[in-house]
Structure 1
Amino acid sequence: MDLLALADFNLVARHGGFGKAARAAHRPKATLSRRVAELEASLDIRLFERGGRTLKLTEEGRALFERTHTLLNELDEATSAIASGGQTPRGRLRISAPLLFSQTAMGRLAASFALKYPDVRIEVTTEDRPVDMIEEGYDLVIRVNPSPDESLVGRTFLRDRLVVVGHPDFARPAEGKAVPAIVRSANDGSSWRVKGSDGDEDIAIEPVMTLSSLIMVRDGVRAGVGAARLPISLVSHDLAEGTLAHWGDAVAPEIALWTLYPSRRLLSARVAAFLDHLKQAFPKGTTDELAAYIGR
């Protein structure tokens, strides 16, 4: 099999089209099209479904991409490492991270990593949705409480928990009376369960605002619009300074931030370096470490 043609196929599959791939690689579109056609002819299979304006991988094309994408990356990294005389992190590092972590910590983490490893071109995409690492070309994904995925390996690097908070001048209603609440989703339910001194208790809520960002939710609570359920790391400084009041720890699953990457024997130097970078930033992985980092 022609490895150059296979590499061009991967380039087109990763970018989702001949034009995009040609612009990204500064290569002639006609050359990429010819190489892929030659690969299809040699394998006697169609790798792409070609429409008027769309290009979609066939089932065989997707299988070939999934099986060769990582191998070609490792081959490229191996030759780069040999040429540079060692495992020096270099090249592009694509990361997908959740919204709140990106807003509060990822910018500084990426900047300090870039200063430490100037040969790495880091790209961070902010999104909370599940992603296909192979198809979308991510090297590393950060997610909150991810669903099990046998095709990926990973580890927890931070933990957090939810608390219910309100403005200091916002009186907590009597038992059974609903409190004005700021929520992220209309499906947040009709009450929040919190830990009390005499056992768990429910706080009835009446949503008055629905905001998609937890930072916006926190700002709404600061303004006195209503109470909210928020990560302790995001509000610990407000609680310490008295700008927010603690109504109780939420009875909810622990928040765990995971790093996920393709299951393979050898990690790329870039991914390994970023995992070490996270470990140095959060050596214990505790809520207090995250709160301190956010509050700097």
Structure 2
Amino acid sequence: MNLNALIDFTLVATNEGLGKASRASGIAKATLSRRIADLEEQLGVRLIERSARGLKLTEAGELLLARAEGPLAEVAEAMAAAKEGVSTPRGRLRVAAPVLFSQLAMGGIGAEFCAAYPDVTIEVISEDRVVDLVEEQFDVAIRINPSPDSSLVGRCFAKDRLVVVAAPGLPMPAPGAIRSVPGIVVSSFEPTHWTLDGGHLVLEPIPRLRFSSFLMIRDAAIAGGGAALIPQSMAWSQLANGELVQWGTVSGKEAELWVLHTSRRLAAPKVRAFVDFMCARYPDMSLVLQG
């Protein structure tokens, strides 16, 4: 397949016409039309319907554009870097990150990364769902305890633990039998036990408050609403200043944060730089965040 013909097809498709594509690229309309016709002949399918009202992509054309547009942009970026003889990170970096981590950390991380790499602009989308990096055109994703995925590669840059905390005024139960305590829990909470420090203390939380955000759960615990199970990283400041006390660490529930990108794509300089930056930011793997 002629790569130039494929490039010209995406040029015409994204500009929605031969005239606009010609003006944008400086390539004659007749040349663009001939290359697209050659590409259609090679593939044996119609890619563009031509009429007096203009051009419209066929179903095959829509499919080819969706699959080719991203990879061609990456090839162009790689060729530009090779031509310049440099690997300076540049361009827009789209990052998908969990909501809580985004609220607590990504603002500072984004500013620091852009200061270190002034030719990069960052767009962070904070969602807790698992995004498709290729289909949704993300460069990297930050995920907590990601499931194995052969299409993704990356590195674990930090770890966190789940701890039970409460205000100093709430009496901590003594070890022994299962102890019931007033609980501040997530909205999706189902009856369970909190086993702390290898079974030294087992708690049965009785939900009094339910929230959809760990930030609200933490603040309710500070206000004396009950005991709460939250990531240690988001309570370190309150534990240090005495607003909260830690009753124990949940056994066998360590959270790992990974920065991932797809192995099917060229590892652009901006992606490699971001992965290295995230790992360097947490050299001891300790996730200490300020709320």
- Same fold? TM cut 0.5: yes
* Residue 191 of structure 1 pairs with residue 193 of structure 2: yes
Q: Secondary structure of the equivalent of 1:134?
A: coil
Q: Summarize the alignment of residues 245-256 of structure 1 with structure 2, pairs less than 5 Å apart.
A: 245-256=245-256
CA contact (8 A) 1:180 1:208 kept: yes
Provide the rounded CA distance (Å) in 2 between the counterparts of 1:193 and 1:64: 53
Match of 1:257 in 2: 257
1:280 match: 280
Contact 1:7 1:72 (8 Å CA) reproduced: no
Structure 1 distance, partners of 2:12, 2:277, is: 33
Rounded Cα–Cα distance in structure 1 between residues aligned with 2:151 and 2:59: 21
Per-residue displacement from partner, 1:3-61 (whole Å, max 9, x unpaired)?
1323666x69xxxxx8xxx9xxx99xxx9xx99xx68955455889xxxxxxxx97996
- Tell me what 1:140 maps to: 140
Residues 145-196 of structure 1: CA deviation (Å, up to 9, x unaligned): 0111111112211111111111100123575453221112333433212126
Whether 1:71 aligns to 2:71 is yes
Answer yes or no: is 1:4 the counterpart of 2:4. Answer: no
* CA shift in 2, pair 1:41/1:264, >3 Å: closer
User: Counterpart of 2:170?
Assistant: 170
Stretch moving more, 175-184 or 38-47: 38-47
Shift of 1:138: 0.2
TM-score (norm 2): 0.77
Q: Structure 2 matches for 1:1-296, cutoff 5 A?
A: 1-6=5-10, 43-45=43-45, 65-66=66-67, 68-69=68-69, 71-82=71-82, 84-173=84-173, 176-195=178-197, 199-264=199-264, 266-285=266-285, 287=286, 290-291=287-288, 294-295=289-290
**Following the alignment from structure 1 to structure 2, what is the Cα–Cα distance between the partners of residues 58 and 145?**
38
**Offset of residue 208 of structure 1:** 1.8
Aligned length: 261
Deviation at 1:229, TM superposition (A): 0.6
CA–CA distance in structure 1, aligned partners of residues 136 and 210 of structure 2 = 31
Change in Cα spacing, 1:77 to 1:60, as seen in structure 2 (3 Å) is same
**DSSP 3-state at the match of 2:147:** coil
Q: CA deviation at 1:240?
A: 2.2
Please tell me the residue identity of whatever aligns with 1:3. Answer: I
Cα 1:283–1:63 change in 2 (3 A) is farther
Q: Tell me the CA shift for residue 215 of structure 1.
A: 1.4
Tell me the SS of whatever aligns to 2:251.
coil
Decide whether the 8 Å contact of 1:46 with 1:61 is kept in 2.
no
Where 1:89 maps in the other structure, the secondary structure is coil
The alignment's C-alpha RMSD in Å is 3.3
Contact between 2:211 and 2:217, CA under 8 Å: does it hold in 1? yes
Give the unaligned 5+ runs of structure 2.
Answer: 49-57
| Shift, 1:277, TM fit | 1.4
Among all aligned residue pairs of Structure 1 and Structure 2, give the percentage whose two residues are the same amino acid: 41
CA contact (8 A) 1:156 1:256 kept: yes
Contact persistence 1:190–1:206 (CA under 8 A): no
Kept in 2: contact 1:193–1:250 (CA 8 A): yes
1:74-133 deviation line (CA, Å, top 9, x unaligned): 312123324544111111110001111111111101001111212112100001101111
Counterpart for residue 15 of structure 1: none
Is residue 96–residue 126 contact of structure 2 (8 Å, CA) maintained in 1?
yes
Q: Post-superposition shift, 1:200? A: 4.4
Q: Residue 194 of structure 1 aligns to which amino acid in structure 2?
A: L
CA distance in 1, matches of 2:155, 2:219: 32
Structure 1 residues 117 and 110: alpha-carbon distance in aligned structure 2, compared to 1, 3 A threshold: same
Q: 1:280 to 1:203 in 2, by over 3 A?
A: same
Q: Greater Rg, structure 1 or structure 2?
A: 2
SS in 2 for 1:239: helix
Residues 208-245 of structure 1, C-alpha deviations (whole Å, 9 max, x = no match)? 22222211211111111111111111112222222111
